[in-house]
Structure 1
Amino acid sequence: MDGLHRIGKFTMHDNEIADLVKAWLAISLAFAIVLGGFSFSFAFLLRLLAAGFTVGTGFLLHELGHKVVAQRYGLKAEFRAFDFMLLLAIAMSFFGFVFAAPGAVMILSRVRRDQYGKIAVTGPIINLVLALFFLAVMLLEPPKIIQAVSFYGFFINSWLAVFNMIPLWQLDGKKVFAWNKAVYFTVLAIAIAFMVAQQFIRTSGLNV
């Protein structure tokens, strides 16, 4: 089938790849603005590259996690970017907030509630694992540029986990809450703890 890429049972269409790249670039820009404001400067370019790398791991693996689990259940699942939400994310970033709903993996098959919940929780769990990894790198006191990138990774992945666990609209939290409330509150509590930790790190000046 033209435009279809296959790795084992995992498949992805060209239009999905285009949507993922578009969403990745927009969210990277939004986080770069939130983390230090917008300017036509070398410092902003470095911040954008750091945000792009950390969003690249956080956002892309989050969405691909949904898709992989859905396809393991034998379901048809495709990522779709929400163009309005991408513009909203960039606009809101100038006010210090990232509305991180750039798109979603749409399940195009009939799915049970437990499957939907497990597919949904995969994304935030991936973000928490990545946040923990970036935190561990930061605590090793690497060179300052790596420490700064690690902080961005910790912050961005913690925020993606918290935001996606909001139990509203098409966000993951709504599906996880409907499936298993114990899992929901456990993941949410860890995500909030990580956000509190990043705020402490930011105010303490540990992220240079």
Structure 2
Amino acid sequence: MSLKKKRRIGTSDTEIKHLLIAWVAISFAFAILLRGYGNILELFLVSLITVGVSFLLHELAHKIVAQHYGLWAEFRMDPTMLVLAIVSAFIGFLFAAPGAVQIFGYYISKKQNGHISLAGPLTNIVLALIFLSLSFNSGFLGLIGTFGFYINILLAAFNLLPFWVLDGKKVWDWNPTVYAIVAIPIFGLALVVFFGL
């Protein structure tokens, strides 16, 4: 009989609840932060579609790759950080770290950890391209496209910083060459998009 652990992509009621709460909370925080730029309800809807979806798919990408390796992986929100995100948005800046995918297993190699970590930022790059294609439209759809493009470039670049518990640190620890190939173009794109360099 094979003792190899079955690879299964699954979730739980607890994870779904945590994802939904974090999705709504982080979207609300962004709407508050940008409240001077339009109607708060419209901004909340835009944030749900852009920030919320981008955050959600980033975390699910980590989860899917981890479960592919036979690891237990589920998202857990951080209530303290969610409150901090909303409070900081009222002050005029946003500290957005709503939670993370928690991963457990008997053994996680640096390569596996690197693959798991890389999945999130790469997902944001794919989403950035999708939102960019929408940005050429007028009206509400164009607004969603433009905002979604900026958010995903920001998320990809920030998470690829090689520090602390960010994705970039784990990718660097696994393979600095892969890190450079992925991160340098994304950092360059972020500089062009946000600073016109």
If the TM-score is normalised by the length of the shorter chain, which range does it land in? 0.7 to 0.9
Residue of structure 1 aligned with 2:153, choices 158, 178, 188 = 158
Matched residue pairs, number? 189
Residue of structure 2 aligned with 1:56, choices 52, 66, 73 = 52
Is the contact made by 1:20 and 1:79 (CA closer than 8 Å) also made in structure 2? Answer: yes
Question: Which residue does 1:143 correspond to in 2?
Answer: 138
Equivalent positions of 1:98-177 (< 5 A) are 98-109=94-105, 110-138=107-135, 141-177=136-172
Query: Cα distance 1:153–1:116, how it changes in 2: closer, same or farther (>3 A)?
Result: same
1:45 paired to 2:44? no
User: What are the superposed Cα offsets for residues 24-69 of structure 1, whole Å, 9 maximum, x if unpaired?
Assistant: 112112222333449xxx7111011011111232111111111111
Query: Cα distance 1:85–1:185, how it changes in 2: closer, same or farther (>3 A)?
Result: farther
Residue 189 of structure 1: CA displacement? 2.9
Residue 116 of structure 1: CA displacement? 0.3
1:184 paired to 2:183? no
Percent of pairs with identical residues? 47
Structure 1 stretch 90-99 or stretch 26-35: which is displaced more?
A: 90-99
Distance 2:185 2:90 in 1: 28
Distance 1:34 1:73 in 2: 38
Distance 1:120 1:190 in 2: 17
Distance 1:190 1:45 in 2: 35
Residue 166 of structure 1: CA displacement? 2.5
Residue 188 of structure 1: CA displacement? 2.8
Query: Cα distance 1:90–1:198, how it changes in 2: closer, same or farther (>3 A)?
Result: farther
Distance 1:189 1:196 in 2: 11
**Structure 2: segments with no counterpart, 5+ residues:** 1-6
Distance 1:43 1:111 in 2: 46
Residue 144 of structure 1: CA displacement? 1.9
Residue 197 of structure 1: CA displacement? 4.4
Structure 1 stretch 160-169 or stretch 13-22: which is displaced more?
A: 160-169
Q: Given residue 91 of structure 1, which amino acid in structure 2 is its aligned partner?
A: V
| Aligned Cα root-mean-square deviation (Å) | 2.2
Query: Cα distance 1:100–1:185, how it changes in 2: closer, same or farther (>3 A)?
Result: farther
Runs of 4+ in 1 over 4 A off after TM superposition: none
**Structure 1: segments with no counterpart, 5+ residues:** 1-7, 202-208
Distance 2:49 2:149 in 1: 12
Distance 1:175 1:70 in 2: 14
Distance 2:35 2:191 in 1: 19
Structure 1 stretch 56-65 or stretch 95-104: which is displaced more?
A: 95-104
Query: Cα distance 1:129–1:48, how it changes in 2: closer, same or farther (>3 A)?
Result: same
1:88 paired to 2:84? yes
Is the contact made by 1:131 and 1:153 (CA closer than 8 Å) also made in structure 2? Answer: yes
